[in-house]
Amino acid sequence: MSSATHRAIEAVWRIESAKIVAGVARMVRDIGLAEELAQDALVAALEHWPDAGVPNNPGAWLMATAKNRALDRLRRDRNFEDKREQYGQDLEALEALIVPDFVDALDAARQDQIGDDLLRLIFTACHPVLSTDARLALTLRLLGGLSTDEIARAFLVPEPTIAQRIVRAKRTLAAARVPFEVPRGAELAARLGSVLEVIYLIFNEGYTATSGEDWMRPALCDEALRLGRVLAELASDEPEVHGLVALMELQASRAAARVDAAGRPVLLLDQPRARWDPLLIRRGLTALERAENLGGALGPYALQAAIAACHARARTADQTDWPRIAALYDALAQTAPSPVVELNRAVAVSMAFGPAAGLAIVDALLAEPALQSYHWLPGVRGDLLAKLGRHHEAHGAFEQAAALARNARERELLLQRAAASLTAGDAAPIIGHQNKTGDSP
């Protein structure tokens, strides 16, 4: 077999597999079986294409082959009558065997918010009946067309673990009789939240990858971005989808500037902005605009994107619009309150309105149980105290922060600041305040 054809088939599979699994799943109402049948079609392609050549429309070929297998399977399914019973109100759906477009008409009649197979597949793979780990693996497998080996490498776990996770996830979906549908009405918002969370978790998993790790890890960022862009077309009237895409585009735009030549992380305000990717910034700002144009109050993803956009728009760190960022954190703290958001708000407020205003917010957080071992809390506090000239207290806060820091380099920086506070000199900023290196064009 020609290996070029083999690689071409693999590429076609990457492009088409999600659509095929989704199309077949609409017929058989079981994504595990649908994937199996889609795989059968792939095997058929591997048998035929090396001799016959890749067809002009390989996607249609695979789809037709998979759907034929599905028909065969359903016809000879001995439990056909059981299934009729099992599906109950979905009885008509099985008429798809006779009139393939009937299901579409049925769904239109049921006023599915978005009657698209791919969208159903995304919602099913991210169903809350599954654990978060299972949702991530199943989404990458079914929507991304990644192999279990690739997913395992991306998450730094053994391949059998992922294989098992996917098998169990499919079983769970079947056992819970999760319908292959896009949720409607009030349920949609919560279920969409799960889909967005899964995509953002995939993105962050890739974003935290360090150099020297398997390239599949950073590739997760690209895959999450791709999934987000796909979703933005499928659910184009959902502002938070565009908000998430905007957030990921803007964060990805900084990827090249996030670490220095030695592989050490560089804080946002210290990053050389010339290395931020202008194309991704433009795409991020456009996506944010789409979210804003849909009207209504911005959701948590769009708000975070709007904050990232403030940084992206500033040509230098000095030109950052801190009052706007503080206002956006205000809104975020109301929409999605969390102690970490509150701490970020404190930093933004201190940058916009002075260290005393920021310190008031930080001090209110000191009793927060969730932040008791979070080194950034005393770290930020120490920084604000130092700026207010309260060096003795700053020293204590930095020492406390250093004791909590898990990363050796961060600990070292915090101890340096603690020592500097003792001598009451001007300490180097820890979160990049009074940035001196970010003034590149």
Partner 1 sequence: MRFMILVKATPGSEAGEMPEEALIAAMADYHEQLVKAGVLLDAAGLQPSAKGWRIRHAGGSARVVDGPFAESKELVAGYTLIQVRSREEALEWTRRFPAPHGSGVDCEIEVRQLFEMDDFGPSDAAKRFHDMGVGV
Compare residues 290 and 391 and give the one whose CB is closer to partner 1: 290
Distances (CA, A) of 53 to 38, 47, 340: 20, 11, 56
Reduced 3-state DSSP string for 180-219: CCCCCCHHHHHHHHHHHHHHHHHHHHHHCCCCCCCCHHHH
Tokens of residue 9, six digits = 């088939």
Compare residues 55 and 179 and give the one whose CB is closer to partner 1: 55
To partner 1, the closest distance from the beta carbon of 197 in angstroms equals 18
> Please, which residues bridge with residue 265 across strands?
259
Compare residues 245 and 327 and give the one whose CB is closer to partner 1: 245
Compare residues 8 and 388 and give the one whose CB is closer to partner 1: 8
Q: Interior CA angle at 118 toward 153 and 175, to 5°?
A: 75
Give the span between the Cα atoms of 358 and 335, in whole angstroms: 20
**Helix H segments across 77-177?**
80-87, 102-109, 117-125, 132-142, 148-155, 159-175
To partner 1, the closest distance from the beta carbon of 136 in angstroms equals 18
Q: Of 288, 33, 74, give the one whose Cα is nearest residue 173.
A: 33
Compare residues 8 and 331 and give the one whose CB is closer to partner 1: 8
Compare residues 7 and 392 and give the one whose CB is closer to partner 1: 7
To partner 1, the closest distance from the beta carbon of 173 in angstroms equals 24
Question: Burial, 247: exposed, middle or buried (Cβ in 10 Å; 0-12, 13-18, 19+)?
Answer: buried
To partner 1, the closest distance from the beta carbon of 55 in angstroms equals 11
Q: Of 304, 306, 100, 125, give the one whose Cα is nearest residue 231.
A: 125
Give the span between the Cα atoms of 261 and 361, in whole angstroms: 36
Question: How many CB atoms sit inside 10 A of residue 46's CB?
Answer: 15
Q: Of 318, 275, 308, give the one whose Cα is nearest residue 429.
A: 318
To partner 1, the closest distance from the beta carbon of 236 in angstroms equals 10
Tokens of residue 398, six digits = 């930095």
Compare residues 113 and 416 and give the one whose CB is closer to partner 1: 113
To partner 1, the closest distance from the beta carbon of 63 in angstroms equals 14
To partner 1, the closest distance from the beta carbon of 144 in angstroms equals 9
Which residues are at the interface with partner 1 (CB under 8 A)? 7-8, 10-12, 14-15, 58, 219, 222-223, 225-230, 233-234, 256, 261, 272, 274-279, 283, 440
Compare residues 12 and 173 and give the one whose CB is closer to partner 1: 12
To partner 1, the closest distance from the beta carbon of 152 in angstroms equals 17
